[in-house]
Amino acid sequence: MQLTVDTCGEISYNKDMDRTILHCDMDGFYASVELLKYPQLKNHPVAVCGNPENRHGIILAKNAQAKKYGIKTAETVWQAKKKCPKLQLLPPHHHKYKEYSLKINEIYQRFTDMVEPFSIDESWLDVSASLKLFGTGREIADTLRETIKKELELTLSVGVSFNKIFAKMGSDYHKPDGTTVISRDNYKDILWPMNVRSMFFVGAATADKLNKTGIQTIGDLARADRTLLTALLGKQGSMLYEYANGLDSSPVSRYSEREKIKSVGNGTTFRRNLQGMDDIKVAVTALSDTVASRLRKYQMKGFGVKVDIKDPEFKVISRQKQLSAPTNLAEEIFHASIEIIASSWRLRDPIRMLTITAINLCDENESEQLSLFDLEGHARQEQEKIERTIDNIRAKFGDNAINFGRVINNDIGIDLDDNRIE
């Protein structure tokens, strides 16, 4: 590959030459992190799930042994236990997953600064400018797998290709703990015979539409008429045609330039259904507190608040409200959320789950065009000082050090031993 260095010291490469893209996908990430504490369960079927007693009984992750029994993410615990009565269940610890995700991406950055996280356990790496230092794409992938296994005792699977989509599909091809190279020479042999449902971004509904037109494999998709695909699926049809033919040219972002957070939310399924405004206020107090503290941690504010409500029959409504000024205050998020619920929900109806989300975010230092006659400005500044003081107390003495009175001794399932609801 021909490399050039510009006057600012930036490394680039000839656009006519293929890039070398890696997609790194941790193997059974949540379950693998939990098993670090329980090595005796390593060869047993294990799943990470919410507490069934608190009605959080959904499978969040499973290890390879559990996968052999057909256990799937998002199915209920009782369904999983029917398939595998000896399934070992472990509770989730989201702060651990975030901690390990940071460590993993720090290892990636030893090889390139072009690291783009796709989720908490997946990242794309563009190592095109690193080949002379660290070897071929396959060699870098194998080194990454060995390094993470040695330093963190976790495994990952890596896809190596000339674009992001094929690299992503390569990481799924040989799991766990494998490296798959998908090149211009072999992508038709590896990918085209696969069911079209295996194509990245092809869901069940899209696959059904494609199947009805005779498109069964990725090769069928690649050879299809692009105009007909666009007529069938709109812009997605043209995009899938390009992906199947290896025409993806989307760049890998630098880790330091990764996309800003678009929303900050928190939700929970309660130990019992919420009944009436008193219950709702307890729940909204705790959720708003968590959302506000996260906004301050990320140095963001929201111009709007969204509330999702799920009833015992699993029906969901979603409503939102725009604010007159951006906020990261629990008090303001609380009042906006209560207004939304009061205007859109019959209070006599039970609530199984609530999610509160701050939306339309901006940097907290972004200029606010407040009226010179705004009498509430000073009060908001004082409230922000109070809530930041609460942040400092919790940081020093623990999340349980200070809380809202109405939340203490609640019976809806908000655990004060871990006040940050995950």
Integer Cα distance of 5 and 24 in angstroms: 27
pLDDT score at 224: 97
398-410 per-position pLDDT tens digit: 666 566 656 666 6
In this structure, the strands spanning 156-161 and 179-182 are parallel
Give the other-Cβ count within 10 Å of 215's Cβ: 23
183-223 per-position pLDDT tens digit: 999 999 999 999 999 998 898 889 999 999 999 999 999 99
pLDDT score at 162: 97
Q: Which of 238-252, 313-327, 395-409 has the lowest mean pLDDT?
A: 395-409
Instruction: Check 34, 75, 116, 122 and give the catalytic one.
Output: 122
146 is catalytic: no
Distance between alpha carbon 385 and the CA centroid of its chain, in Å?
Answer: 31
Element (H, E) at 105: helix 94-108
Integer Cα distance of 163 and 319 in angstroms: 39
Integer Cα distance of 265 and 300 in angstroms: 13
E strand intervals along 194-314:
264-274, 300-310
In this structure, the strands spanning 316-327 and 300-310 are antiparallel
pLDDT > 70? residue 254:
yes
Q: What is the pLDDT averaged over residues 20-33? A: 95
Q: DSSP per residue over 394-411, as a string? A: HHHH-GGGS--GGGTT-S
Q: Which of 41-55, 234-248, 342-356, 388-402 has the lowest mean pLDDT?
A: 388-402
Report whether 28 contacts 61 (CB < 8 A): yes
Q: Please indicate whether residue 368 or residue 312 has the higher confidence score (pLDDT).
A: 312
Integer Cα distance of 52 and 33 in angstroms: 21
Integer Cα distance of 23 and 240 in angstroms: 19
pTM score of the predicted model: 0.65
Integer Cα distance of 136 and 130 in angstroms: 9
E strand intervals along 35-106:
46-49, 59-62, 88-90
Q: What is the pLDDT averaged over residues 133-161? A: 97
The amino acid at residue 366 is E
In this structure, the strands spanning 300-310 and 156-161 are unpaired
Element counts in the chain: helices (H) and strands (E):
15, 14
pLDDT score at 364: 74
Integer Cα distance of 158 and 26 in angstroms: 9
Element (H, E) at 23: strand 21-26
- 176 cis-preceded (ω within 30 degrees of 0): yes
Distances (CA, A) of 24 to 118, 123, 138: 10, 5, 12
pLDDT score at 187: 97
Distance between alpha carbon 112 and the CA centroid of its chain, in Å?
Answer: 23
Q: What is the pLDDT averaged over residues 177-181? A: 97
pLDDT score at 11: 41
Nearest to 152 by CA among 254, 29, 22: 29
Rounded (10°) CA dihedral 294, 382, 332, 366: -60
Classify residue 413 as left (phi > 0), alpha (psi -120 to 50) or beta.
Answer: left
